[in-house]
Amino acid sequence: MDSQRGREWRLTASVYRDQRMNLLQQLRSSRTFQFYLEAVFNLTKLTHQHMYSLLYHKDLIFKFSSQGHIFSKSSQVVHQYTENS
């Protein structure tokens, strides 16, 4: 009888561990997806600024501005997400 309970406990612990790992994986992927969505939003907004703002119309000025740095970091996030998917 005790071996039966021990086996049930190990099975329950195994199922719990598997469910916990699946939940952690889902949370990690959802955070990554949130970073991806934020990066796409930033790229859209910054592309519009780059095209329609006279100050940032020149590539060199845009590249060295704070918006250009955000654009670069957002581009890296999007590329990493699409390479890993």
pLDDT at 67: 92
For residues 72-79, average pLDDT: 92
Domain ranges (residues) in the chain? 2-84
pLDDT, tens only, 22-73: 656 765 677 788 888 899 999 999 999 888 888 877 888 888 999 999 999 9
Looking at residue 73, its amino acid is: K
Q: Is the pTM of this model over 0.85?
A: no
Cα dihedral 56, 62, 67, 70 sign: positive
Q: Which of these ranges, 6-10, 13-17, 56-60, has the smallest mean pLDDT? A: 6-10
- Counted residue by residue, the chain has a size of 85
- What's the burial of 46, exposed, middle or buried (CB within 10 Å: 0-12/13-18/19+)? buried
The token pair that represents 7 in the structure block: 């086996």
pLDDT at 44: 93
